[in-house]
Every structure is written in structure tokens, then in C-alpha cells.
Amino acid sequence: MEACIFRACRVIIVRAGIPARPKMFANLRSSRATELIQEFPPYVVTSWLGHTPALAEAHY
């Protein structure tokens, strides 16, 4: 499923003439994690992301 979404997004990006980003989904996930942590307690966000609080703090 994830590969299909990734491929579909790539096709849309190429057709739109937008320069490809090498780590598009990783960057989107990181950005969203940063936004969530500003609104919700860290233990809630890390649960949603599937991380431990220590791992999330190291990456986000």
C-alpha cells in the first residue's frame, strides 16, 4: 500500500513539473510530528507515531 501511494505521488509530482524531493514522506512525517508536538502532550504524539519519547526527541 505505501509503495502505491509513493508511486502515485511521484507521478503527480512529475506531471506537475515539480522538482522531486528525495525524502518526501520522511520530511512530511517530520514536519507533522513537529506540528503535533506543539499541540499535544509528547506521550500522545509518540504513541501516534509509533516511537518512544526518547526516539522522537532525538529526531523531531
Q: What is the Cβ-side half-sphere exposure of residue 26, based on CA atoms within 13 angstroms?
A: 4
Report pLDDT for 41: 92
Residue 15 has pLDDT above 90, yes or no: yes
Report pLDDT for 55: 78
Cβ distance 30 to 7 under 8 Å? Answer: no
Mean pLDDT for the chain?
Answer: 86
Report pLDDT for 30: 87
Alpha-carbon distance of 57 to 60, in angstroms, equals 5
Say what the pTM is: 0.65
- In which element (H, E) is residue 43 found? helix 42-49
pLDDT bin (cut points 50, 70, 90) of residue 54 is: confident
- Catalogue the E-assigned strands of the chain: none
What is the phi/psi pair of residue 53, to 5°? Answer: -55, -35
Residue 36 has pLDDT above 80, yes or no: yes
